[in-house]
Structure 1
Amino acid sequence: MSDRESVLAANRAFYDAFESLDAEKMEAVWLRDPRIICIHPGWRKLSGWGPIMSSWERILGNLFEMKFELGEIEVTISGDLAIVVVEESLIQRGYDGTERSNVLATNVFERVGNGWFMVMHHGSPVLAPPDDEPPLQ
């Protein structure tokens, strides 16, 4: 399997873990390291294993269902680091009902041994301009 294919598989494993709502599966995709970073849409930056895994437990524990459609996936690999930029269209169902949203995510993976592990996830909500407003150039 090429590096690109391995990185795409690691990225898919992240979304599969998210959709499974299983904290142990989420733990398996992250590098257990104090320098990891996670920025959930609308949250402040979280650093380190403990705060990041606590955030995932909180998020996953408050959902009944999560489904992603991924689009516009771009992969950049440089040595043992890989950056994946991806558009997420997601549907989440929780205590407050069903929500649909679009997020632009940057996922950074580091190769350790033969595997790629997440070291950073940054999600930003996409706020589309109204149909009659042209996009900024």
Structure 2
Amino acid sequence: MSDRESVLAANRAFYDAFESLDAEKMEAVWLKDPRIICIHPGHRKLSGWGPIMASWEGILDNMFEMKFDLGEIEVMISGDLAIIVVEENLTQRGYDGTQRSSVLATNVFERVGNAWFMVMHHGSPVIALSDDEPPLQ
């Protein structure tokens, strides 16, 4: 399997873990390291294994269902680091009902041995433009 295919498989494992609502599967995707970073949409930066895994447990415990439809995926690989930029079209069902949103995500993976592990996830909400508003150039 090529580096690109391996990184895409690691990225898919992240979304599979998210959709499974299983904290143990989410833990398996991340590098167990104090320097990892996660920025959930609209939230402050979290650093380190403990705070990041606690945030995922809170998210996963409060959802009944998560489904991702991923848009165009860009992959950049340099040595043992890989960056994926992807649009997440998310449907989630929780205590507040069903919500749909789009998030632009940057996922960074580091190769350790023969496996790729997530070291950073940053999600930013995508704001829909009004019909008369030109896109940023």
Structure 1-normalised TM-score?
0.99
The equivalent residue for 1:9 is 9
19-28 or 123-132, larger mean C-alpha shift: 123-132
CA deviation string 1:49-82 (max 9, x = no partner)? 0000000000000000000000110000000000
11-20 or 126-135, larger mean C-alpha shift: 126-135
1:28 to 2:24 alignment = no
Aligned length, in residue pairs: 137
Structure 2-normalised TM-score?
0.99
Moved over 4 A (4+): none
The equivalent residue for 1:86 is 86
2: distance between equivalents of 1:128 and 1:74? 21
The equivalent residue for 2:126 is 126
How do 1:10-89 residues align onto structure 2 when only pairs under 5 Å count? 10-89=10-89
The alpha carbon displacement at 1:133 in A equals 1.6
Gaps of 5+ in 2: none
Percent of residue pairs bearing the same amino acid type: 88
CA deviation string 1:72-119 (max 9, x = no partner)? 100000000000000000000000000000000000000000100000
The alpha carbon displacement at 1:132 in A equals 2.3
The alpha carbon displacement at 1:38 in A equals 0.1
The equivalent residue for 2:107 is 107
Q: Secondary structure of 2:44's partner?
A: coil
